[in-house]
Amino acid sequence: MQAIVESVFDAFYLISVITIGILMIKGSKGNVQFRLFGWMAVVLGAGDSFHLIPRALALCTNGLENYIVSLGLGKWITSVTMTIFYVLLYYVWRKRYKMSGRAAITAAVYGLAGVRIVLCMMPQNQWLSDESPLSWGIYRNIPFALLGLLVIVLFYCSAKEHEDRAFRWMWLTIVLSFGFYIPVVLCADRIPMIGMLMIPKTCAYVWTVLIGYFAMKQECR
């Protein structure tokens, strides 16, 4: 039952975000903000597919233990694409609120993203084994969490300042995604049921994408 439910949910998620992303790219009508948002959704779905598709195959066939390498490789790729997702989201913020300059913030975004990707590339992560160390899971997620926090603050402050109803909950979707993700990083190896938090985490990302899509439908008529 778990295999069926989880696989159907993941398939719905991947198809939804990639489809919405393509619709946004095609329907942005030259609006750079929404074209970026579309690419952001495609990167999200495409990156997650490297992990979720092997996981679905494993659950529906001979078990996760027989897909250790493909699952580890998928997690590795997803870790990088999620970082790119937040960099693109930063540029959505810049375009939506017509921000110029902000060299220090841009440097912080690229710095945190760069450190995160470098840490993800380190062999100590042991992505392709079944004994990935918790310590390295924490190390690589520190700059990622700081990057997420920065984007949260930017969207919260700007949406409030500009009374932007369309994006007023963008900050909350990111808070929820990290709120569900961090316990998985810290505890899922010891308490497997904690891994179920990835479902509401995924729903938070779908909410993020839908915010952009519905805003485009309103603003690009």
pLDDT, tens only, 15-25: 999 999 999 99
pLDDT at 97 over 80: yes
Question: Angle at which helices 170-187 and 198-219 pack, to 10 degrees?
Answer: 160
| Predicted pLDDT of residue 2 | 67
pLDDT at 115 over 90: yes
Distance of alpha carbon 73 from its chain centroid, rounded? Answer: 17
| Predicted pLDDT of residue 1 | 67
- Determine the average pLDDT of the residues in 182-197: 81
CB 140 within 8 A of CB 120: yes
pLDDT band at residue 29, thresholds of 50, 70 and 90? confident
CATH number of 148's domain? 1.20.1070.10
| Predicted pLDDT of residue 7 | 85
Average pLDDT, the chain: 92
Angstrom CA distances, 113 to 86, 94, 146, stand at 8, 17, 9
pLDDT band at residue 202, thresholds of 50, 70 and 90? very high
Confidence (pTM)? 0.93
The total domain count for the chain is 1
Q: Minimal CA–CA distance to 24: which of 42, 11, 12?
A: 42
pLDDT at 144 over 80: yes
- Structural domain range at position 61: 2-219
